[in-house]
Chains A and B, each alone.
Chain A
């Protein structure tokens, strides 16, 4: 954006250098040193933003932004996304019966929702659950965790941080994992079936690889001790109040159990906004011939355990493919196109104005 690149000469050489530094330092003169810095004459680049330089920049930015925007927009549009709200507030919904499910109900309430995919999902499909009006970013909630406990610190395991109150100690035993976040972990179970000629073909849902690698491998650690028996390691702790099972029974696989259970880790990363989605399962593309999910009928089996009706919340299941830029999000594309267009448009307008007035003084490069 700069036209003028002028480097000022170092202040007139050093003709008076001998005066500035008196011989032998016998007399300390108060004559200021003749250095470029002290005389405020450091060589400097003095950019001047003129219409002549900025306007082309406007065009260039416009020309860059619009294609990027279009690219993002197209990419975002190509992403397949399917969303089912299974809260069951409407009486017609199959899950309506489960609406007032509570924590202490021993028998799980299950419901099944059938749906049809109009288009096939070609690449890997990501299955999310979404919650609305759920304030995971509430301050009391966000801070209600003990990261050193989750990091496998044995003393914190038995003596969780005060921040976990009121989910710190239950029946005189420390809760592991403590805190409101862990206590309210999402515990609906979602299963997906493809209905092919009335037969339900289960779709393999991969439950690993949904959490950040660093979380899974560094930030979250099971407590250490003799042996790998998690039951023994969690000895002396109790399960969170709302959990049906203790933390060492979250999964059968040992590398996905305890604190390093990925569902748990995903839940523990608190969402930014009250309406959010979290990654639940992955559906990998089997081979190159078939789409991951072909168009057709599907059914979703839900073990409805998670009550959201009490706080007016909603629950969703989302199936989505992913591009290089993540999930479907039209915002970026539209924003880029808009900004690029405005840039371009203003460039044109200003150029006209500039020329209209600038013509009169073609050679008027008035020194600043």
Chain B
């Protein structure tokens, strides 16, 4: 990349590369390719394709029903989907245009030129003013502030709303006017575009007027990302490096994989069954047709001769077309409208989640958010909940509690007085350390951080300080707490200028520590390091550890987050070495991370421990209750955290993940021990636990699923290192075996706590559980970047509103406690609704088509349709579609409040209970029974077809209309029987549909339609209703059809009452102190 498009000296071999323009295209279609492309996409769906085939068969082959009957619904479905997708794409177009057409200033020939954003080319120098977003990925050259820094918020990229500091390239910071920047001649080498937001390596080579070119390294801190917003800085200059679709934002935009719900899988399984039914029906009919036709006067009696064409076709071809015709005749058994209805239900239904005011949080002014509506019902199926601890279970707003310096404890509050009076300051001393050590400690606290002070005139600061009107901005709330704590004790940011900050060795989760190197006024070089105890202790003098460790452990037991502080004095020589190495590493284009890590590693060694801090992270309100409810609902809650074990454990006790009665099994580094023996030891432990949990438990689980609540509860604690030992055992020991045993142990435990987890390990655990037998539904909830991987891995990912995780999640809720309602009420209801919807659809189409199948036996297998074409077409889209849609949106078979307060109800729908084969068979038999009743009821009625009181006779269309009338009423009333929650909408839609059917039938039969070839239905419906017998028959048949259903309800009711009685008695006799599981 050549900055400002000024060619450098010829000697530099520069291969011109083609860069894309800065146009962002997130839309899928253009005006021209919308129709073909959208149609192609839609017909790639197997169902749509199937219906297209049926339609084509109808067009080509002489089939019983006109192409309209299946073409119209298909057209309807395709159109609706196309409109929806078109609208979404139009929105995308609009958003794109907004971005692409926005004006930016480009410095050209020392002048500012206004250009549309899409015209930015790589190498352009772009000027961005405060509160503007960056139009493309820029290398930060210069800013209005002298030190070459700027503040950026990346809220729209990763959801982190705190300010991040970016640094300009050191040699160009002075070029802060248009003219100056124009004079710059430089080239930039950088890596190919890659989606990782936090990684960037590159090099800028600056050609001074007459000196040697200077090469500078570029890192992520030099890169300003498209989509981020400039804050607090007047203006900056940057050179475009990645534009358009190559920007990190665009690269991050794609690639969220589709998650398919279990319900969808069930639907597909049922579809296959129905496809088999369809095929076998068509086969049976075709076979019987030819058997029947083997008799010549059946095949072609004198009154019904074949056309010449029919006679001429080959028999095989005729058989084939007959088969296709039967397929077409029965194809309604696979409902085209089901997909539309399911999708509409999901889309509309998801609004109820975001509308729920109980899931609205007043503090952050956010409600729940639905990012995908495909997984609503999955919320009712969750078996495993993986939750992050920090920020999810806890508030993630830290409070400095206490510290210890050289083993002496300092506490902030005045609660537990034991004889000591208040000495100087607000501190309470429990013993005293040397003054110098104290000072060193506090100095370390207020130096070793990345907190920025921010003037209070900005509104969006994170934490306001009341006295000084200052705001601290930092990426980590711990640091703010620490700095504030230090400030309280008299030291503040103000001290920092006394020291010259030389290097910041940034925090990263692998090292789990950060350091700063400073030069004091006296010229001493100091390195302060702050980090987790596990990463500090090995790097300090061993004799210092003991005292501090006691404190750290105790604090951890209390649920505080602990950090250790250490320091080391550097000689000038050492410093020079580090300095050189650091610069070298920073310049490196390849493997910069590793090299940096290596340098850090070397620098942070042989330090002296000063002390430790304890910061409290308060539990979120009601997280304990929520966890209890989830437990009671049969879900297993796993806490995956990066915290240390003791901290995590106490949090788990606090939020009642572990009860006092829970027997804890530990698989931690402590238990396993060090060195070579650890694998053997691990093996022993695993075997022991396995034996305890699986072999010793008597097999009395007779039919009761998840009966563990009744027996001893086990909790498992495992840490990251042990986990990696189990999952990735070294080659020599028996591999994969551990994994199975471990998994079996895990699955038997009520609660599992995994601490010291790396982000990837979290995802690993989720994947492991997800892939176990029976593939349980998993849910991950978390708030931070480190939870993203597990959120993406789980079936349902839930992010915390407004955080980075929520962008990648399927749902976002403001607080952990909202999970309770989301799962117990919404999830349960959605599942029941959609399961019922699916079953009902298959059922209603089975009893729709079965009479048509049976009719073939009485019409010489001639594919004569029983119903009129209009009825065939409209059955699914008009007469019976709205009631089930309304049901599937509004049904509350159990009150929402009851669902929320009684978690055990959740277990009733666990394991996809309503879409198993048993309920499916039940519905299928019901449909078959009703189909038989419809057909044979009318068949017997038509033994004497003169049903009017004037002796006139009815024909075949009346026959079909009676069957159809009974069908529509039965199917709708069956739904009415199932509806437990009758809002006015249900009333309106159910009775409205029936009324519409009657009205339509009158209308359809009341006019001679000029566009119809045959006026089959002319006055058929009206005539039908003049016959008393028909009325009686219709009433009777509807009643017979619904009778089993009513009977079943009554029987269930009686049985339930018995259970209740029995339960009550049990409850009195064996009161266990814990709510009894319902024995069903």
Contacts and interface: CB of A to CB of B under 8 A. Distances in A.
Contacts of B985: 42
A235 interface: no
A193 interface: no
A43 interface: yes
Interface stretch (B408-416, B472-480, B859-867): B859-867
B198 to A, nearest CB: 29
Interface stretch (A112-120, A224-232, A266-274, A288-296): A266-274
Contact of A139 (B64, B1014, B1019): B64
A360 interface: yes
A354 B355 CA distance: 43
B1028 interface: yes
Given A31-B357, A214-B1018, A361-B1060, A272 B942 contact: yes
A138 B304 contact: yes
Contact of B956 (A43, A137, A180, A366): A137
Contacts of B952: 210-212, 279
Interface residues of B, number: 92
Nearest to A124: B951
B85 interface: no
B314 interface: no
Given A139-B863, A336-B1032, A357-B1058, A271 B945 contact: yes
A268 to B, nearest CB: 9
A189 interface: no
Contacts of A49: 977, 1046, 1049-1050, 1053
A255 interface: no
Contacts of B864: 137-139, 142
B807 to A, nearest CB: 16
Interface in B1039-1061: 1039-1040, 1043, 1046-1047, 1049-1051, 1053-1054, 1057-1058, 1060-1061
Contacts of A180: 303-305
Interface string A228-245: 000000000000001000
Interface string A305-337: 001001110000000101111111101100110
A137 B1058 contact: no
Contacts of B892: 40, 44
Contacts of B1008: 151, 218-219
A165 B948 CA distance: 34
A326 B1053 CA distance: 42
Nearest to A354: B1054
A361 B1064 contact: yes
Interface string A125-150: 01010000011111111111111100
Contact of A141 (B304, B365, B942, B958): B304
A331 B943 contact: yes
B858 A322 contact: no
B954 interface: yes
B941 A331 contact: yes
A32 B944 contact: no
Given A266-B953, A272-B959, A72 B1032 contact: yes
Interface stretch (B146-154, B224-232, B294-302, B765-773): B294-302
B335 to A, nearest CB: 24
B360 interface: yes
Interface residues of A, number: 105
A30 B355 CA distance: 9
A332 B944 contact: no
A55 to B, nearest CB: 7
Contact of A339 (B1039, B1046, B1058, B1064): B1039
B1032 to A, nearest CB: 6
A214 B982 contact: no
Interface in B858-896: 858-860, 862-864, 890, 892, 894, 896
Given A30-B365, A46-B982, A219-B1018, A332 B1033 contact: yes
A299 interface: no
B981 A166 contact: no
Nearest to B1005: A214
A31 B367 contact: yes
Given A40-B890, A180-B305, A358 B1057 contact: yes
> Most chain-A Cβ atoms within 10 A of its Cβ — which of B301, B367, B1013, B1018?
B301
B939 interface: yes
B302 A39 contact: no
B949 to A, nearest CB: 5
B304 A135 contact: yes
B947 interface: yes
Contact of B1050 (A54, A218, A219): A54
A271 B1064 CA distance: 62
Interface in B380-433: none
Contacts of B959: 272-273
B1054 A51 contact: yes
Contact of B955 (A38, A270, A312): A270
A135 B859 CA distance: 6
Contacts, number: 284
Contacts of B209: none
A343 B1039 CA distance: 11
Nearest to B987: A45
A279 B896 CA distance: 61
A222 interface: no
B51 to A, nearest CB: 23
A237 B469 CA distance: 104
B950 interface: yes
Contact of B1027 (A41, A326, A335): A326
Interface string A148-176: 10010000000001010111000000000
B354 interface: yes
Contacts of A276: 945, 953
A66 interface: no
A30 B946 contact: no
Contact of A183 (B303, B1019, B1047): B303
A254 interface: no
A137 B354 contact: no
A49 B939 CA distance: 32
A339 B1040 contact: yes
B618 to A, nearest CB: 25
Nearest to A6: B895
A354 B1053 CA distance: 10
Contacts of B948: 326
A280 to B, nearest CB: 10
A32 B956 contact: no
> Most chain-A Cβ atoms within 10 A of its Cβ — which of B360, B977, B1057, B1058?
B1057
B115 to A, nearest CB: 32
Contacts of A368: 894, 898
A361 B940 CA distance: 46
B371 interface: no
B1078 interface: no
A279 B367 contact: no
B977 to A, nearest CB: 8
A81 B572 CA distance: 125
B365 A31 contact: yes
Given A29-B365, A32-B355, A327-B944, A282 B951 contact: yes
Interface of A: 29-34, 38-51, 54-55, 61, 65, 68, 72, 103, 124, 126, 128, 134-148, 151, 161, 163, 165-167, 180, 183-184, 209-212, 214-215, 218-219, 242, 266, 269-274, 276-279, 282, 307, 310-312, 320, 322-329, 331-332, 335-336, 339, 343, 346, 350, 353-354, 357-358, 360-361, 364, 366, 368
15 contacts: A38-B356, A44-B890, A61-B1039, A138-B859, A139-B864, A161-B1013, A212-B952, A219-B1018, A269-B953, A271-B955, A273-B945, A326-B946, A332-B1032, A335-B937, A361-B1057
Across chains A and B, which 3 residue pairs bring their CB atoms closest together, nearest first?
A184-B303, A272-B959, A126-B951
Given A33-B355, A165-B308, A276-B953, 18 more contacts: A47-B982, A51-B1050, A54-B1053, A137-B859, A139-B64, A139-B864, A143-B1014, A151-B1008, A180-B305, A210-B952, A272-B858, A272-B958, A273-B858, A273-B959, A274-B860, A322-B950, A325-B947, A350-B1051
